[in-house]
Amino acid sequence: MRLWPQVLLFSALLLWRPAMVHANEPTWQHMQALTAPEMAGRKSGSDGARKARDYIHRQFELMALTPFHDGYFQPFRHEHLIGTTEGVNVAGWLKGGSGRKPLLS
C-alpha cells in the first residue's frame, strides 16, 4: 500500500497550521477564548452561549463599537419544523469613511 499521499498531506497540514496561527495573533486569541472548554459549547440558549455573548460584548466595548439600534444584544426567535430556537446575537457598528457597516457576532 502506498502511503506517500497521506504522508504528503499530513506534512503539508503541519507546515500550514503554524503559519495560519501566527498570521493574526489577536484573531487567534479570540478563537482560543471562544472555543475554550470553559465556554461549554455555544448552543443557543445555553450557558456557553451566554459566556460567549458576554465575551464578545466586552470586546466590542473595548473596541468602542457603537451599539446596534437599542444596544449590542439582538434577541431572535426562529420557528422551524422540529421546534423553536431562541438566542441573542451581539451587534455593533464600526464607523467608516463610507457610512456605517454592521459587525455581527
Q: Domain ranges in the chain?
A: 37-93
pLDDT, residue 103, reads 57
The whole-angstrom separation of Cα 81 and Cα 43 is: 18
| Among 7, 77, 19, CA closest to 44 | 77
pLDDT tens column, 7-20: 555 555 555 555 55
pLDDT, residue 6, reads 55
pLDDT tens column, 43-85: 778 888 899 999 999 999 998 899 988 899 999 998 989 999 8
Of 99 and 16, the structure prediction assigns the larger pLDDT to 99
The DSSP annotation for 17-58 comes to: HHHHHHHSHHHHHHHHHHTSGGG----TTSHHHHHHHHHHHH
The answer on pLDDT for 94 being more than 70 is yes
pLDDT, residue 43, reads 79
Q: What value does the mean pLDDT take over residues 19-33? A: 73
> In Å, what is the CA distance from 33 to each residue of 25, 37, 43, 58, 74?
12, 9, 16, 12, 22
